[in-house]
Amino acid sequence: VKLLRNGETREREVTIGARNDTDVEIVKGLEAGDEVVIGEAKPGAAQ
């Protein structure tokens, strides 16, 4: 996954558990307070 830290994105490997059509369980690799990037804004897109 991509994480946001100090204004920059960084990749981190995670382990997934259960998943379905809309949700994925992350069982290893994230800590409380981590900010996960779920999409990136395209140039000129509203924020």
Query: pTM for this structure?
Result: 0.66
In this prediction, residue 45 carries a pLDDT of 67
Domain extents for the chain? Answer: 2-37
In this prediction, residue 43 carries a pLDDT of 76
pLDDT one-digit tens code per residue, 8-34: 999 999 999 999 999 999 999 999 999
Can you spell out the DSSP letters for 14-25? Answer: -EEEEE-SS-EE
Residue for token digits 């999409």?
A: 39
